[in-house]
Amino acid sequence: MTKHKIWTWDEAKSRIEQFQQTGKKMVFTNGCFDILHAGHVHYLEAAAELGDGLLVALNTDESVQRLEKSPARPLQSETSRSHVMAALGFVTGVVLFNEDTPKEIIEYITPHILVKGADYSMENIVGADWVIQHGGEVKTLEFLPGYSTTQIEKKILAAHSR
């Protein structure tokens, strides 16, 4: 079962504190991860390798809808996305956030390492200043080219509109 890897904010904070007490580092990243694809797996696996554990913060369904990626999004519910993410062996925990950005969860749990895709510049990474001020690190990772949930969605829609 993957349910034990889906945490509340308080559980995530406690786990990070436990890591810190034992000299380990928790990596944090966030996203919608609506249709898990090879690009996501590549990115998440690389993020996990930067520390001793990986916490993935997922946008709730309501939060995804406010991002206006597509009227159909999210394609999978937050419950489904949480379980799929928690099933990945290199993911230590999953936490949901309902805000438009992960700023509040980052400031609440204070991860050791904050990771975003290389399409973000350091000054545009939400929570970067907080993590750095609290002795943590902020890193960016390159994406695996050719993978995008939006492109997959367009391909599916195009195939069904014929």
* pLDDT at residue number 81: 95
Q: Is 70 helix (H, G, I), strand (E, B) or coil?
A: coil
Average pLDDT of the residues of the chain:
90
Sheet with 6-7: strands ordered across? 6-7, 93-97, 53-59, 26-31, 113-117, 137-141
* Cα-based distances in Å from 71 to 65, 67, 153: 7, 10, 11
Could you tell me if 70 and 153 are in contact, meaning their C-beta atoms sit under 8 angstroms apart? yes
Residues 6+ apart with CB under 8 A from 32: 58, 59, 64, 67, 69, 73, 74, 81, 149
30 or 160, which is more confident? Answer: 30
Q: Residue 100 has what DSSP assignment?
A: S
pLDDT digits (tens, 9 = 90+) for 32-62: 998 888 888 999 999 999 999 999 999 999 9
Q: What is the mean pLDDT of residues 66-94?
A: 89
Domains of the chain (ranges, CATH numbers): 3-160 (3.40.50.620)
Q: What is the mean pLDDT of residues 77-94?
A: 96
pLDDT level of residue 139 (50, 70, 90 thresholds): very high
